[in-house]
Amino acid sequence: KLKLFIMNIEIIVGVFLMLSATFTLTFPPKFGNVYYGVSTKWTLKDETVWAAGQKLFAVSMSLIGLIFFIVGELRIEEASLPFSSIFLLIGLWTLSKYLVHKILERKYPGI
């Protein structure tokens, strides 16, 4: 059973991220909550930026989850390296935070 879990870890992570994104959109975090939601220096400046940032992060989390789900489904070989998935997740998450920051910076330039 552990081998089956490890073989499908990308699918599990993808579904988890998509569910987390749905939860974030359904129950948005309160302004400034560092435990629930994605907080950055930019989103902590204003409640409007915070709300817009949470929606953008939820959408990007859904996309990352979809990417992981597809990668898990398309896996041809069982010999994929586990840490490659971790690097992919960290890279996509970092890219997502950067892009959302840039979008918010353009949308709310005076804050």
Whether 42 and 49 have beta carbons less than 8 Å apart is answered as yes
What's the pLDDT band for 22 if we cut at 50, 70, 90? very high
| pLDDT above 70 for 58 | yes
Residue 10: its pLDDT value, please?
83
**Each residue's pLDDT tens digit, 64-75:** 999 888 888 877
Whether 67 and 91 have beta carbons less than 8 Å apart is answered as no
Residue (of 9, 32, 100) closest to 61 by Cα position: 100
Residue 78: its pLDDT value, please?
58
Residue 40: its pLDDT value, please?
79
Count CB neighbours of 34 within 10 A.
Answer: 9
| pLDDT above 90 for 110 | no
What's the pLDDT band for 76 if we cut at 50, 70, 90? low
